[in-house]
Chains A and B, each alone.
Chain A
Amino acid sequence: MADKPSDLVQGTLDMLILKTLALEPMHGYGISVRIEQMSKGVFRLNAGSLFLAIQRLERDRLIDGEWKPTENNRRARYYTLTAKGRKRLDSETREWSRQVTAIARILEAS
């Protein structure tokens, strides 16, 4: 179980992308690598759902995209967190930890 990448909890992908971008602007591949690394391989994104989420976030003005050259002289689309995105990340993080605590409380009770 630990070796196999696990499915994301419904609705958390947006929050994870926002969190990743809160550290520094990044391109799509970077986001997926970072999430994989930070989760120690538990979450592995497929390109389809990643770019779908990016498109959605960009349309909601939570992130901004910009074409920039990469280190090996090609160009990639780099995403930065907007002020609105930062606010959304804060509120979602708070909401998430509230839920996690609550769920944990239920599971520990017996």
Chain B
Amino acid sequence: MSLLRNITSGLRSLFRKEQVNRELDEELGEYLEMAAVEKMKQGMSRQDALRAVRLEGGSLDGTKEIVRSGGWESVVDTLWRDLLFAARMLRKSPGFTLVAMLTLALGIGGNTAVFSVMNTVLLRYLPLPNPQQLVFLRLPNAPPDGVSSTGDVDRSFSYPVFEALRKEHAVFSDLMAYVPLAVDKVAVRIGGDPEEAEGDMVSGNFFSGLGVSFTRGRGFALEDETAHASVVVLSYSYWTTRFGRSPSAIGQTIYVKGVPFTVIGVTAQGFYGVEPASSTDFWIPLQNRPELTAWDEEPSLDTLYGTPKWWCIQLIGRLVPGVTESQALAKLDPVFQSAALIGLGTPDPKAKKNILAFSSTQGIQGLREYYQKPIQILLAMVGLVLAIACANVSMLLVARNSTRAREFSVRMALGAGRGRLLRQTLTESFLLVAGGAAFGWMFAISGSQALAAWSGMEIPFVLDSRVLLFTLAISISCAIIFGLAPLRRAVSVPVGVTLKTSNATAYRDQRSSWSGKVVVASQMALCLVLLVGSGLLVRSLRNYQTLPLGLRVDGLLVFGTDPFSVHSDEEKEHFYQDLLARLREAPDVESATLVSHRLGSGWGWNSVWTIDGVEPQGPFSEIGMSANHVGPDFCHTLGIPILRGRDVTDADTRSAPKVVLVNETFSNRFFPKGDALGHSVGKNKPENSFTVVGVIGDSKYKRVDEKSKPTLYFPFAQNTPIPNMQVELRTHSNPEALIPSVHAVLHGLDPNLPIQKPMTQRAQFDKSYSQARLFARLSIFFGVIAVLLVATGLYGTLAYRVDRRTSEIGVRMALGAQHGQVLWLILRESLLVSGAAILAGVPVAIAGARLMRSMLFGVQPGDMISFLLALFGVILVALAASIIPARRAMRVDPMVALRYE
């Protein structure tokens, strides 16, 4: 109650200041009057009485000031006045204000954007209730021998293991299973045209256990899982892009690989699945149909729902509150051990131990390990930019405040305390930083969107409260540093000195001119470190871009197919022969071929084959081979040179004699005499033997930066079972212009067939070093900002110093100094500073470059060219920033300079 009254009364004096003042005046006036009347009764004249009262009680204004400062509102009032005054001072020098705010905005915005990436990838929990209780289940020792697993060996479990573990209600309040319908996207049809989308099959408790909320409709129930119900839940983003957020989406039918599903719900905004590196578009309950196998595997007894032989489903559990991870694992272990052996017969006592483990759900699965180091380096780089920006702004402030030394001296002489001046400069720097942070936040919003786009991530980098806190923290520390640094200089000047001397020769001491040089030198040193870092990354990128790929990469279009309605090898061979024949007829298509593993996609097929029936001996690194299924005209279409023998042709069918092409590395390693042709390569059974009919040039397979491996190219129909194939088309025109005609051809074959991930082969290869490109681009960006900041900082400092030395230069010139000597006077200073910066910066840069080793490609951390370029860059900046002030110094007219004094 009294607090409330205190506040209302305080607010009243703030907002009805005049009335409150008048009342106080009246009350105090009355008090004086009464006291005076009292004195007059004792015989004083009125004038004497009033004077005596004032002598005793102090002046009316003084008393008013005391009373007014008693309430909390007076603090607000002075703060407000400080703010108004600071704003007025900043408005008076708009150039300074704008430059300072923009500089800060760049620094703060850059840091915020990079931190938002770090937050999303490394720190943030899934946007679900109590996310700390969620754990991923892991298999650090891989699944038992004798079962097949997925590419995610350390996180894929079997159905029996899931069924056994989900009953452990003392450990998990819920255990959820999810398994993708395909490695990537799956064929989907909504209405007329086929397309593709990313879908998972999940257990019935998936949504309820995670605590996902729904925008529309409902999630799954356990009955949906046991009945393998034909219902589907859409993600918010898929609902948005595909259905335009129409409420009528509920109840519609979606054909997944031709099987109809009814939409029953849409998840809440912000939920992208539990592994949000790429967002999941829809979820269906676990299915037992042969069309809908986990990971789109060929249906067989060992790949259907419920099999113990295929470890394919991934698990995420919600721990019962109060159960620690180690307690949980101890309780689960016996259950897991027996469930892991279901269906595997008697266990081999020497077999490796099966281990169950948990991993945190913080950050993004799969990206955390991959991006941790680069993000930290990036954060360090952008931190350097902020340091340079801060140094710039504080130098600006120092320069500005030392010209204000007179103002400060006058105010101190008039009785302002140092505390009052301190508060004033602090308020000004807070205003500057607040403006900078506001601009910076806007930068960060667009910056983080750009980062998301560049890095190819499908989820947005959210600027949440943690990021906001980070921004506020760095901004406030900036503000405090800025506020204190310049003031120390300004108030340490003795009042008398400043008031007596003229502006031009205003107080200068050796120490302060030193500290300016030190700041500029350290800025340049930081800039050098940044430039070395960007130089190394850019040279790595050049190496990626100019690496010979071993094939003619331009003019190629690649896309995937998934003929899910075609099953037998016979049908499949026919389907692809038909497809190739139709595509060759399409306009602008020069030639067409097939590959099972798309080049440059990072996926590959690695194994060991026998040569002439004998398995080569040695470590896998030496005898391991890559292989690919390829179509007719493979070398011709891709532009790979044939060294000996022939290309794959239309005649290499399933019934024709089995043949294989090998690459040059294969030939050199296993047939050093160059007589590979005619030998045989095989696997397991004698009838699985292929005759080498061609030796072709080495070309890049999985990614740009791989080493050449012995590689085999099998005609696609001869090495069964025939997998789904990717199509490569060569054209004279723009490859992407072929996409519509490809659509038409596919539609003619089967209206349910989508065209999967069509892109140029060049773009596909570029993707294999997209991370390197992203970081190279960003580091160039940061490097350029650093150079600009350092250049403006150095220019500002030098210009300011030349300005102050005008009279000195005038005297020198009057005494006969030549232009060259004056020029040297100024240049020498900046060269000395650069020299010091280089001496300090090179060791730091060497250390920094070592930390970046893992991000470099084909460049050593000590790369001379990068260092020389960076040194050259720094010196160039120093010279460029000195030229204008130096020329101004040369033009000083001795007479004018002296008269000015």
Q: Do A and B come from one complex?
A: yes
20 contacts between A and B (CB under 8 A): A28-B30, A28-B31, A29-B30, A29-B31, A33-B38, A46-B57, A47-B28, A47-B58, A48-B62, A48-B63, A48-B67, A51-B28, A51-B31, A51-B63, A52-B67, A55-B67, A59-B9, A75-B26, A76-B34, A77-B23
Q: Could you tell me if A74 and B63 are in contact, using CB atoms closer than 8 angstroms?
A: no
Q: Could you tell me if A47 and B1 are in contact, using CB atoms closer than 8 angstroms?
A: no
Q: A29-B30, A46-B57, A74-B33 are in contact. Are A59 and B67 (CB under 8 A)?
A: no
How many A-B contacts are there with CB distance less than 8 Å? 68
Chain A residues lying within 8 Å of B63, measured Cβ to Cβ, are 46-48, 51
Interface string of B15-30 (1 = CB under 8 A from A): 0000000011011101
Chain A residues lying within 8 Å of B70, measured Cβ to Cβ, are 52, 55-56
Chain B residues lying within 8 Å of A58, measured Cβ to Cβ, are 9
Q: A46-B57, A48-B63, A48-B67 are in contact. Are A59 and B30 (CB under 8 A)?
A: no
Q: Could you tell me if A51 and B67 are in contact, using CB atoms closer than 8 angstroms?
A: yes
Chain A residues lying within 8 Å of B66, measured Cβ to Cβ, are 48-49, 51-52
Chain A residues lying within 8 Å of B23, measured Cβ to Cβ, are 77
Chain A residues lying within 8 Å of B24, measured Cβ to Cβ, are 51
Partner of A28, one of B2, B27, B62: B27
* Interface residues in chain B, defined as those with a beta carbon under 8 Å from any beta carbon in chain A: 1-2, 5-6, 9-10, 23-24, 26-28, 30-35, 37-38, 56-58, 62-63, 66-67, 70-71
Q: A51-B67, A55-B70 are in contact. Are A60 and B2 (CB under 8 A)?
A: yes
A61 to B7, CA, bound (A): 12
- Interchain residue pairs A-B with the least CB separation, the first 3: A48-B66, A29-B34, A52-B70
The chain B residue with its CB closest to the CB of A30 is B34
Within 8 Å of chain B (Cβ to Cβ): is A19?
no
CB distance from B52 to the nearest CB of A (A): 13
Q: Could you tell me if B35 and A61 are in contact, using CB atoms closer than 8 angstroms?
A: no
Within 8 Å of chain B (Cβ to Cβ): is A86?
no
The chain A residue with its CB closest to the CB of B32 is A47
Q: Could you tell me if B71 and A59 are in contact, using CB atoms closer than 8 angstroms?
A: yes
Q: Could you tell me if B27 and A60 are in contact, using CB atoms closer than 8 angstroms?
A: no
The chain A residue with its CB closest to the CB of B13 is A55
Chain B residues lying within 8 Å of A76, measured Cβ to Cβ, are 27, 30, 34
Within 8 A of B (CB), among A30-56: 32-33, 46-49, 51-52, 55-56
Partner of A61, one of B2, B27, B58, B62: B2
Chain A residues lying within 8 Å of B9, measured Cβ to Cβ, are 58-59
Chain A residues lying within 8 Å of B5, measured Cβ to Cβ, are 59-61
Chain A residues lying within 8 Å of B10, measured Cβ to Cβ, are 59
Q: Could you tell me if B57 and A60 are in contact, using CB atoms closer than 8 angstroms?
A: no
Chain A residues lying within 8 Å of B2, measured Cβ to Cβ, are 59-61
The chain B residue with its CB closest to the CB of A31 is B31
Q: Could you tell me if B67 and A29 are in contact, using CB atoms closer than 8 angstroms?
A: no
A47 to B29, CA, bound (A): 11
CB distance from B105 to the nearest CB of A (A): 43
A27 to B31, CA, bound (A): 8
Within 8 A of B (CB), among A51-107: 51-52, 55-56, 58-61, 70, 72, 74-77
* Interface residues in chain A, defined as those with a beta carbon under 8 Å from any beta carbon in chain B: 27-29, 32-33, 46-49, 51-52, 55-56, 58-61, 70, 72, 74-77
Q: Could you tell me if B35 and A29 are in contact, using CB atoms closer than 8 angstroms?
A: yes
Chain A residues lying within 8 Å of B28, measured Cβ to Cβ, are 47, 51
The chain B residue with its CB closest to the CB of A76 is B30
Q: Could you tell me if B31 and A61 are in contact, using CB atoms closer than 8 angstroms?
A: no
The chain B residue with its CB closest to the CB of A44 is B56
Q: Could you tell me if B71 and A77 are in contact, using CB atoms closer than 8 angstroms?
A: no
Chain A residues lying within 8 Å of B34, measured Cβ to Cβ, are 27, 29, 76
The chain A residue with its CB closest to the CB of B24 is A51
A10 to B58, CA, bound (A): 21
A61 to B2, CA, bound (A): 6
Chain B residues lying within 8 Å of A59, measured Cβ to Cβ, are 2, 5-6, 9-10, 71
Chain B residues lying within 8 Å of A27, measured Cβ to Cβ, are 30-31, 34
The chain B residue with its CB closest to the CB of A50 is B31
CB distance from A26 to the nearest CB of B (A): 11
The chain A residue with its CB closest to the CB of B69 is A52
**Given A59-B5, A76-B34, A77-B30; 17 other pairs, CB 8 A cutoff:** A29-B30, A29-B31, A47-B31, A47-B57, A48-B66, A49-B66, A51-B66, A52-B70, A55-B70, A56-B70, A61-B5, A70-B30, A72-B37, A74-B33, A75-B26, A75-B30, A76-B30
A29 to B63, CA, bound (A): 14
CB distance from A108 to the nearest CB of B (A): 37
Q: Could you tell me if B27 and A77 are in contact, using CB atoms closer than 8 angstroms?
A: yes
CB distance from B58 to the nearest CB of A (A): 6
Scoring B26, B28, B34 by chain A CB atoms within 10 A of each residue's CB, the highest score goes to: B34
A47 to B34, CA, bound (A): 12
A47 to B58, CA, bound (A): 8
The chain B residue with its CB closest to the CB of A52 is B70
Q: Could you tell me if B58 and A74 are in contact, using CB atoms closer than 8 angstroms?
A: no
Q: Could you tell me if A74 and B62 are in contact, using CB atoms closer than 8 angstroms?
A: no
Chain A residues lying within 8 Å of B38, measured Cβ to Cβ, are 33
Chain B residues lying within 8 Å of A48, measured Cβ to Cβ, are 57-58, 62-63, 66-67
Chain A residues lying within 8 Å of B33, measured Cβ to Cβ, are 74
Q: Could you tell me if B6 and A60 are in contact, using CB atoms closer than 8 angstroms?
A: yes
CB distance from B251 to the nearest CB of A (A): 64
Q: A46-B57, A47-B58, A48-B66 are in contact. Are A74 and B30 (CB under 8 A)?
A: yes
Partner of A46, one of B26, B37, B58, B71: B58
A29 to B37, CA, bound (A): 11
The chain B residue with its CB closest to the CB of A58 is B9
The chain B residue with its CB closest to the CB of A48 is B66
Chain A residues lying within 8 Å of B32, measured Cβ to Cβ, are 47
CB distance from B714 to the nearest CB of A (A): 91
Chain B residues lying within 8 Å of A75, measured Cβ to Cβ, are 26, 30
Chain B residues lying within 8 Å of A77, measured Cβ to Cβ, are 23, 27, 30
Chain B residues lying within 8 Å of A74, measured Cβ to Cβ, are 30, 33
A74 to B2, CA, bound (A): 31
The chain A residue with its CB closest to the CB of B9 is A59
CB distance from B77 to the nearest CB of A (A): 15
A45 to B6, CA, bound (A): 24
A55 to B58, CA, bound (A): 19
CB distance from A77 to the nearest CB of B (A): 5
CB distance from B303 to the nearest CB of A (A): 79
A28 to B38, CA, bound (A): 14
A26 to B10, CA, bound (A): 24
Chain B residues lying within 8 Å of A29, measured Cβ to Cβ, are 30-31, 34-35
Chain B residues lying within 8 Å of A32, measured Cβ to Cβ, are 31
Chain B residues lying within 8 Å of A70, measured Cβ to Cβ, are 30
CB distance from A14 to the nearest CB of B (A): 13
CB distance from A75 to the nearest CB of B (A): 8
A25 to B6, CA, bound (A): 22
The chain A residue with its CB closest to the CB of B27 is A77
